[in-house]
Structure 1
Amino acid sequence: MEEAHVLKLKSRKFSDFYLCFCGYAKCEPLHSFGPAVRPNHVIHIITKGRGRYTAGGRQYDLHEGQGFLIEPEVQTFYQADRNEPWSYMWIGFSGTRAGEYLADLGLSGNNLIFSCRDIPELNVLMQNIINRNTYSVENEFLRESFLYQVFAVLSRSLKVQSLSADEKDPDNIYVRQAVEYIQNNYLEPVRVADIADYVGVSRGYLHKLFLKYVGQSPQDYLIGCRMTRGAELLSVTELSIEEIALSCGYTDPLAFSRIFKRRMGMTAREYRKNN
């Protein structure tokens, strides 16, 4: 669980660069989010404690004063430390020029991790955004201006840490290849044995590497991809449960339904009704 304060925006006036949501949270030990895929960019900045962030098969151990970028359509997972659970603030944004502005900061691609020294100033800006939580033309423009101010502060205080995990630990390339294979094939009835064969290592060794770099087993990662896709299809299509199961790599719809309920805490039909 986490103690959180969140602002979510459902309408927008701007298209090139705009705020989607923001907030801050104090997490309990081992509180986690994901595996999940976001439709927009999200920046997290750690204000206290420690945790880990996993993206693209790479795991980063992070602490107070650091931050991380979540890119659109990339599956990620992050979790608070057991002994020093983190607190963080986050801001989600999108737009036709969002990628360009991130590149101006040196963020994107392999550069997802950064250090930031002006956290108190960013805290004030985030609170200003959250306080403008009602709809008005004035608040729309003010929230937009605060978003640009956040980027202005980051531009002068952010130090990107380019972490080439493959160079530091060659074993990580197996994980990256496995993650790419899963993301390209999880809609098919692939098994962990197929993934291990593709990468060229044993199932046991692949399991060990995934626990080290991703924080979960290959099977759990594969299931996470499939359940994320299943939830999306339940929300935006009228496909039957049987058709969705097949679309997520399950030939047995009962197996899909059982795993979906275990993962999501509700049946597929209940999820569709609530979403």
Structure 2
Amino acid sequence: MKLEMKKDVIYRCIGSDFTNGILACGFMTKPTKEQSQYNFLIDYYSCFILLSGNGYYYESDNNKRQIHAGDFVQRIPGVIHTTEVVPDGNWLEFFISFGRTTYDYLNSLNLIPKDTPVGKGNYNETIHQRLLGLLNLIKISNVNDLPYLSLQAQELLLNILISDSKTHGEDPIKVAMDEACRLLSSEISSVISLKEVATKINMSYENFRKQFRKYIGTSPAQYRIAQRMKHAKLMLLSGNSIKETAILTGYSDTYSFTKQFTNSVEVSPGRYKKEKLSVKN
């Protein structure tokens, strides 16, 4: 893919609390050593994938790691670190930033490798186009759409964290099931065909259902519902109305969404929102 070496970033905020509400992303160039960040410390979460160029990452104990194009670097909230640019004019990164509470939630699910600040990232043409789309949407969207875009940013982060390379000797069925989980966790607002998922991982539909239940412990359909409900909870607690949440999680009407939410969570969306927000306050 062709990469243009130019800065293109956007910073937005959900609500008035920047630490917990920040939503930002974009392409950042750092042609000079002065743009290195020494003993850097932030209260929110940020990460970037290095698209071109080279540099170094220093942990608080001065442990030095070289970083190259294709590496994924995390800025963990409250952790002092340094990123040093090799000043050859080639540094281009795409970064994503979101709030501390969002990071804490993802970390509680063990979805972010907080003890591995530098690793290989998954970056391909599809992810490139989705990042461009996210950048443009955050620029033009109204405030009410930002919680939904935050979920898109989180999904893209998790996709980048999944390496394209498959470990030699790894169970191919497990690899296929991991990919199925990724597909079933994406595009929450859209209808997804389980037969299409089976085709994408090169399995028959019946074998896919059988192996998915064996490896994941539930059916593909129930897994998809669980992912929708996970996103629905976040949307409700981010200020979206029940109607908005229903639409954003792919339900055609509020009644169908409320029925599914109540069956899955064992409490209505309205009551869930009220109880959780009252605990926060």
Q: TM-score, normalised by structure 2?
A: 0.47
Structure showing greater relative contact order (alpha-carbon pairs closer than 8 Å, 6 or more residues apart): 1
Higher strand residue share: 1
